[in-house]
Amino acid sequence: MNILKELGNKQHPHVLGALDIFKYIGPGLLVTVGFIDPGNWASNFAAGSEYGYALLWVVTLSTVMLIALQHNVAHLGIVTGLCLSEAAVKYTPRWVGRPIVLSAVLASISTSLAEILGGAIALQMLFGISIPVGALLVTIAVLILLFTNSYKKIERAVIGFVSIIGLSFIYELFLVHIDWGEAARAAVVPSVPQGSLLIVMSVLGAVVMPHNLFLHSEVIQSREINLEGDERIRHALKYEFADTLFSMLVGWAINSAMILLAASTFYTHGEQVDDLAQANTMLAPLLGSNASNIFALALLLAGISSTITSGMAAGSIFSGLFGESYNAKDPHSAVGVVLSLGVALLIIFFIGNPFQGLIISQMVLSLQLPFTVFLQVSLTSSKRVMGKYVNKPWNTVFLYGLAVIVTVLNIWLLVSSLA
């Protein structure tokens, strides 16, 4: 968010001490906010309540993918001074880059849909407001916060509160019975129970969100590290990985905790979560009678903060088509923001089952993901783009392998739905 950009724009000394790593902590934490957005909540609760521990491996795989991809796209921003959208327009044929970037705009709409819908569900839980009216209120609030930059005054408090709720899920693991041996096995051994592929894809899409790859490169490139020489670039590349690794591991722990709690709270009792309001009971052992209201408030703040993020990402993606960086006051960025939030709001008016809408929106993200990954890896593997900082051959193979895995899963989902 903007605070992270402001931090990034500060000048740093070229001689870095042991504590200088904290100057680079930031962009990764922005991405981590996406780990505990309404779409993630819905996907994780559905996974745990319907399949117990069985889908924990998806969170592990997604987190490994996210660490590699976020680290890689950050390299692009650090070395070139361009976000992923700008680099795609500048370095790829028009018929390749632009369609992929436009598909990323569609993915940002799907993301915004989940975030706005989550905020609307929270307003319904708190005040009994209907979903359409709640969605409209959330959208208006986010647009005001974005275009007035007033969100800078509250974003730390919002992220802090939502993070505390996320960490409370981890704490609660010590208050319920968890079969840690089975959980550890499920976290690393893939299994796809019958009928679970949609949930698998929604969990994957909820973690490795395409718009966050664009946004991470935008936040990183705003620091203009590429203008400060090779030594500064090398330091940034080194410490950025620590930021990404730390942030993504926090996200992995929170996502896994949600699935484990849903499994212990619902799966063991033969119940399935088909409404986010049900999930507040998971916080009851920790929060007692206040669980419902605190859960709803956390969901509302998660929805608002992640809608701000998805709006910024859409603005960055759209402005990149014109070779520009994100700036809320720039017409192209503004069009991207309004397009993403406006279309998402329109779709919400026609959604009959909000919880299922959240699940499907996250699955849509996984469908677009291979296009973004193939684009990103082709850019970071090009010496013309990256110069001497081009991907090592083994890294290129690994990253393309991740894209192939997501592609295969998508094809599997398509075949299964047609069968």
55-107, pLDDT tens digit by residue? Answer: 999 999 989 998 899 889 988 988 888 889 999 999 999 898 899 999 999 99
User: Would you tell me the crossing angle of helices 94-127 and 331-348 to the nearest 10 degrees?
Assistant: 50
User: CA 299: distance to chain centroid?
Assistant: 15
Q: What is the pLDDT of residues 117-166, one digit of tens each?
A: 999 999 998 999 999 999 999 999 999 988 887 656 655 666 676 677 77
Distance between CA atoms of residues 381 and 226, nearest Å: 18
pLDDT at 346: 96
Q: Which residue has the higher pLDDT, 17 or 68?
A: 68
- DSSP codes of every residue in 20-89: GGGGT-SHHHHHHHGGGSHHHHHHHHHHHHHHTTTTHHHHHHHHHHHHHHHHHHHHHHHHHS--HHHHHH
What is the Cβ-side half-sphere exposure of residue 181, based on CA atoms within 13 angstroms?
0
Q: What is the pLDDT of residues 251-269, one digit of tens each?
A: 888 889 989 988 988 898 8
Percent of the chain with pLDDT over 70: 81
The answer, yes or no, to whether residue 225 has pLDDT greater than 80, is: no
Distances (CA, A) of 285 to 131, 294, 397: 28, 13, 46
pLDDT at 154: 58
Distance between CA atoms of residues 254 and 155, nearest Å: 20
pLDDT at 139: 96
- Residue ranges of domains in the chain, CATH in brackets: 34-418 (1.20.1740.10)
Mean pLDDT confidence for 372-376: 93
pLDDT at 22: 36
Is 211:376 a contact under the CB 8 Å cutoff? no
pLDDT at 271: 84
The answer, yes or no, to whether residue 184 has pLDDT greater than 80, is: yes
Distance between CA atoms of residues 398 and 377, nearest Å: 10
pLDDT at 17: 37
Distance between CA atoms of residues 189 and 60, nearest Å: 10
pLDDT at 6: 39
Among candidate residues 165, 121, 143, 150, the one with its CA nearest the CA of residue 290: 165
Distance between CA atoms of residues 69 and 210, nearest Å: 10
Give the SS3 label for residue 323. Answer: coil
pLDDT at 345: 96
pLDDT at 19: 35
Distance between CA atoms of residues 55 and 47, nearest Å: 6
